[in-house]
Amino acid sequence: MRVLHVVTDTNIGGAGRYLLGMLKSLKERSPEVLEEMVVACPRGMLADELLAVGVPVIYHSGGDVSFSPGLTIEIARLVRRLKPQIVHTHACLSARIASKCLGVPVIYTKHSFDAGDAPCDRRVPERARVGTGPPATVVNREAAESGTAGLLRREDARPPGMSRSCRTNLTGWLRRFLNRVASRCLSDRVIAVSHAVARALESSGVPPSMIVTIYNGVDPREYGPARCGNSAARAPGPGGALDGEVRGGGRDERSRVLIVGTVARLHRDKGLDVLVDAAGILARQLERAAGCSESSNEVRFVVAGEGPERPILTEKIRQSGLTGVFQLAGHVRDVPEFLRGLDLFVLPSRREALGLSILEAMASGLAVVATKVGGIPEVVVNGETGLLVEPDDPEELCQAITALLADPELRTAMGKRGRARVEKLFDIRQTAEKTLEIYREVLRS
């Protein structure tokens, strides 16, 4: 079965980790299947990791761009040369267009939400407010991937006499119509990584008959139990190993440091600014408690990941007086090792298709605090494998973190149930097998 995967990511995000995990699973299960699969992607960390696990890679010039005329021509030439039986795209509209024009079946995996599909930033961007500067046109990458150009104009650019509700209804109808046409013309199947994503696809106009939900997954064998309560646990270095000591180290035996952490891109969708606010609330509570008790626990927060919000988060941490409490650790290569040093995992996202890092944390035996958005409630069972809170609520987030840090037995029990849930429902080997079945189904039809 000759399959060409096309991805435009240069770094290892959700789509890249999905692809890495699935292809590694296929290599272990059926090496002959992997030999007939090729990944087309730009040069970068993802390409390097794919080559490291033995996946054939062909570079394209897209570089985080879903569509361009030049990329479409480039992919068309590649498809003619390789003659794949299926092209599987991950956020690359150019690949869908090129492949269908050449009569090759297309599978499209939807790894995230389009703007408006799920709760995200509640603030109105400054440039999008009425009466601020000249009209601007914004092209949304996710909308472009779904086949609609995603062209939006600000309120001050709408035609005279057209109300906001009328314009919204017209835009929504047009978007659904274009999604339906694009899906039928440019895809044979659309894979949603969660039921939440599947519902969003249906709402956007994609025919339900074309959508299949296949959960993203992880390999539980790669994730060992967390070292909760281990006095040797330390702050993470860039490799994932915990290098700088923050627990034990000559401290009074009646107190120790608890580590709360997450793995996330530094982007506003991940709600890390809310985590900083929650950390500030908790720090003030612990400071008051320290004056009333001879023994106390310290709490440190650490975030593994990089992204555009780093300068904003760094300044927020400084202004909140949390420089010694809240650490931005940067990119971590060894995520399983990083997770083994945590006592609790927290992901306060505003928008999340599924939450791959949550699966990694649960596979590591960690209890999880996360938000009730997108596909997260399909992963975290509230009260059983973790606690779910509302997005953008630092007070509630702090309460949930405090409750679990105060009860190590509950954390341990939740961690065990979480790992069992990952083994049952979110094993990457199941993802790979179900994806292969979709390939066979499309080829049969």
Query: How do residues 108-142 score in pLDDT, each as one tens digit?
Result: 999 998 765 644 444 333 333 333 333 333 334 44
> For 123, which DSSP code?
S
State residue 333's pLDDT score: 87
CATH homologous superfamily of 220-425 equals: Glycogen Phosphorylase B; (3.40.50.2000)
pLDDT digits (tens, 9 = 90+) for 175-209: 677 667 777 789 999 999 999 999 999 998 899 99
Q: Which residue has the tokens 């555009």?
A: 308
> How many other CB atoms sit within 10 Å of the CB of residue 132?
12
Higher pLDDT pick, 52 / 29? 52
Q: What is the largest CA-CA distance in the chain?
A: 73
Q: CA distances (Å), 350 to each of 29, 123, 192, 316, in order?
A: 36, 12, 19, 18
Q: Look at 45-59, 207-221, 230-244, 428-442 and tell me which has the smallest mean pLDDT.
A: 230-244
How confident is residue 169, by pLDDT bands cut at 50, 70 and 90?
Answer: low
47-76 average pLDDT score: 92
More confident residue, 55 or 127: 55
Rounded to whole angstroms, the Cα distance separating 380 from 367 reads 9
In this chain, the answer to whether the domains covering 3-123+160-217+428-444 and 220-425 adopt an identical fold is yes
Pick the most confident of 10-24, 144-158, 295-309, 355-369.
355-369
> Domain boundaries in the chain?
3-123+160-217+428-444, 220-425
State the pLDDT at residue 288.
Answer: 86
Q: What pLDDT is stored for residue 232 in this prediction? A: 34
In the prediction, which pLDDT does 263 show? 97
- Give the residue, 305 or 152, on which the prediction is more confident: 305
Q: How far is CA 99 from CA 74, 108, 440, in A?
A: 11, 12, 18
Residue 438 pLDDT exceeds 60: yes
**Whole-number pLDDT of residue 160:** 53
Distance between CA atoms of residues 295 and 321, nearest Å = 23
Q: State the DSSP code for 239.
A: T
CA distance 279 to 394: 8
Q: What is the pLDDT of residue 91?
A: 83
CATH class of 3-123+160-217+428-444: alpha beta
> Is residue 60 within 8 Å of residue 10, measured between CB atoms?
no
Q: Which residue has the higher pLDDT, 51 or 248?
A: 51
Which of 32-36, 82-86, 407-411 is least confident?
32-36
Residue 372: pLDDT band (50, 70, 90) is very high
Nearest of 181, 90, 91, 53 to residue 435 by alpha carbon: 90
* Sheet of strand 298-304: strand arrangement: 326-330, 298-304, 257-263, 344-347, 368-371, 386-389
Rounded to 10 deg, the angle between the 356-363 and 408-425 helix axes is 110
pLDDT in tens, 13-44: 888 989 999 999 988 888 777 788 999 999 99
What's the average model confidence in pLDDT over 260-282?
Answer: 97
